[in-house]
Amino acid sequence: MERGVRDVSELPKAHLHLHFTGSMRPTTLLELADKYGVRLPDALTGGEPPKLRATDERGWFRFQRLYDAARACLRAPEDIQRLVREAAEEDLRDGSGWLEIQVDPTSYAPRLGGLSPALEIILDAVDTASRETGLGMRVLVAANRMRHPLDARTLARLAVRYADRGIVGFGLSNDERRGMARDFDRAFAIAREGGLLSVPHGGELTGPDSVRDCLDDLRAARIGHGVRAAEDPDLVRRLAARGVTCEVCPASNVALGVYEKPEDVPLRQLYEAGVPMALGADDPLLFGARLAAQYEIARRHHGFGDAELAELARQSIRASAAPDDVREKLLAGVDAWLAD
């Protein structure tokens, strides 16, 4: 088959960077807002993704305000169940065979009976959606850089306690310009000692130093985003040598103003340097592009042929926490897609 004609939505892949509220369908958000009488900002009701430029403080505040408004519409267990089920359906439509969805249960605790009950509701929803749809699903618990590091330790202990219920990793999200990675080193040590992957965000709104800090202070197994590492050749070589996967979200990078155009995202540079990547959608509710669209960006704007897209899919699968049998099945599916 000719280069670049295979359907990327049929390419088996793993989705390793998807935030909980940000995975919501826009139509679901509108229905839940109507259900609870929540007045949404106009940017969330126009049918088109809002224009977000989060590289300055004002832009990031606006992004967070929209995210918080959407999260305020998730108030009951059935809302959580709906969100997770629909996220699974969307991922399956895009060729995903494994999803690791990221959540800070602190944000949902006030409306769901507390921190532990909120996490249990989320884990039950993930387990049910996985069984009913056939999509392999697990959870990454993420601490918030804007909160005190002691809160992160509490979350890490909670995540470890529920590791046998489907939690596979511990992350750190929100504005990298606030909260040094080393302030959260103890929380990540607790998570690692409990068998969880270290998956902090870094190298998105700030430069290579953020990625380096995630490696040195948090012993990251994967980096959420990580694209700004491309500005430091030594760091790129280090990521490649250690096989640390960057969860790259091209549409998000452009929407938030990290890069001006899709072709500016350093996908080709990182790929050719041997840095493993797992393409992710980040927050499709706000950015308007789900998983398969990220592979289309690699194809259209970076010249990735089908063999290279297949290798990107393999990299996402290898970097996942999926059991060996699931990995083998997905990797075989990648080979079959390429051979078709």
The answer to whether 322 and 330 have CB atoms below 8 angstroms apart is yes
Cβ neighbours for 31, distance < 8 A, ≥ 6 positions apart: none
Block mean pLDDT (10 aa), the chain, length 340: 76 98 96 95 76 64 87 97 98 98 96 97 98 98 94 98 97 84 96 98 92 97 97 98 98 92 97 98 94 98 97 98 98 96
Model pTM score:
0.95
Whole-number Å distance between alpha carbons of 210 and 71: 27
Ordered by where they begin, the domains of the chain are 8-339 (3.20.20.140)
Give the whole-angstrom CA distance, residue 5 versus residue 307. 11
Per-residue pLDDT tens for 207-237?
999 999 999 999 999 999 999 999 999 999 9
pLDDT for 257 equals 87
Say if CB 197 and CB 224 are below 8 A apart: no
**Residue at token pair 């996402």:** 316
Cα gap 89→132, rounded to integer Å: 10
Has 48 been annotated as catalytic?
no
Beta bridge partners of 169: 140, 197
The helix, strand and coil proportions of the chain, stated in percent and rounded to the nearest 5, come to 55, 15, 30
Pairing of strands 96-103, 136-144: parallel
Separation in Å, CA 26 to CA 29, 95, 279, 289: 5, 21, 22, 12
pLDDT digits (tens, 9 = 90+) for 166-193: 999 999 998 777 778 999 999 999 999 9
Catalytic site residue from 90, 176, 204, 247: 204
